[in-house]
Amino acid sequence: MTELLRMSALELLQGYQDKQFSPVDAAQAMLRQIERCNPVVNAFNLVDAETTLNLARDSEQRYQQGNTKGLLDGVPVAIKDVFLTPQWPTIKGSKTIDPKSTLGKEAPSVAALNRNGAVPLGKTTTPEFGWKGVTDNPVDGVTCNPWNPEKTAGGSSGGSAAAVPLGMGPLALGTDAGGSIRIPAGFSGLVGLKPSFGEVPHWPASPFGTLAHAGPMTWTVPDCALLMNVLAEADSRDTNAIPRRNIDYLSALNGEPEDLLRGVHIAFSATLGYVQVDREVEESVRAAAKLLQSLGAEVTEVAPGFDDPLAAFGHLFYGGAANALRDIGKKQRSLMDPQLVAVSEKAAQLSMLDYLEAVNERAGLCERMAAFHKKYDLLLTPTLPITAFKAGREVPEDWPSTRWPSWTPFTYPFNMTGQPAISVPCGFDGAGLPIGLQLVAARFNDTAVLQAAHAYQLAAPLTDKRPALFDEHVEQGAATGASL
């Protein structure tokens, strides 16, 4: 069982082909791991073992008949509870959504998984409507960090992030409108990619508009590339999707680290010129920059030269929150996360000129980064300036601001620009909490961030290190995920 839980998606696929084990074996092992670990971290808010095992048996039969389906046949996947799944309700952590109203509908990413034979494990927890950088909601309670359940897993894709390190699935889906893939990837010690805007089709359109991306969360970079090959499949329902480029992201990773980094110009900035960063975080990311340089990349310490766009991002993002709540009345709002209601009501008072000023600032940021990437292929930063803090809080204790974007300054600028950005584990702090590095490339150069991340992970692998909870015996019902 433990061996299957440690395997990457690519290793599972090879094992299926070689008939060493079957998709049913893998699904059963991961369902048992969910039963053991989920009471502690609250990664999944819905598990339907019968459906999962039936789909695994269908896959097993296809392997027996030599008639496999797509790129992920039999691979278990955790699905964030903002993606529509036809067989399961999608409630987005909210008491205001009628679960039955969402059945029979399928998001593009879910449809792509189904076309490729993936086996869904269940739905993973999210803050209400995915509105913040930590994960708790009025329906499901608090999601905790797999390395230390007293800490947050991050958010809004916190459930997906908590699942992967604990072997509750090698692949997971996340969304990211301000860092919601990369924040929990950084805090929880896994790989998380926010693709270029439009590369992964997304439907229905997010209330957060063009800030919102869908993408993969995995244990290894090759698995991330494999899942990207699936998620990037065409879906005509997304009117913002770019024309399909049919890039084989997995094949693009072939080669040694030196091959992948040869001739690559990397700008390293520990602070973006304005961020206060924890000492251990900066030391870890600075060591990663030196390692990439030793492997052949040309690394220059330089900031991209923009001021903190937090105010503009706040107008755009919280305007999206107000958009999400536009049809929700006062009575239903009383059932919601009160902080989500507060920020949405405040944003609803913005004038059109306030919003357009933020749009103008966003356009200027896009232009600056486009010019920056004419000289530098990649920008390397910390994913986050801090490591995970106490679960159940929006901000760390004694933090000067009350809102989550104040501690995520490395992520939200690149939602505004639509660039690809990936978080990869690069170490641990003195308390054993993960530290992540972020790699950002010019828009539509998703291959570059995957190649550099893979080169780093090959040279400095942390994939053999799992949380203590991975192997510990867990008493059923000993949950630390608290209700709001």
Residues marked active site are found at: 80, 156, 180
Pairing of strands 171-176, 191-194: unpaired
Quote the tokens at residue 287: 């060591």
Phi-psi region of 130 (alpha: psi -120 to 50; beta: other; left: phi over 0): left
Q: b/e string for 108-147 if b means 16 or more Cβ within 10 A?
A: bbbbbbbebbbbbbbbbbbbbbbbbbbbbbbbbbbbbbbb
Segments of 264-385 assigned E as strands: 265-268, 298-301, 378-382
DSSP state of 460: S
Report the candidate in 467, 448, 342 with the shortest Cα–Cα distance to residue 5: 467
DSSP state of 254: -
Pairing of strands 265-268, 378-382: parallel
What's the rounded Cα separation, in Å, for the pair 453 and 411?
16
DSSP state of 74: T
Give, for 13, the enclosing helix (H) or strand (E): helix 9-17
Only one residue has tokens 């690069």, namely 426
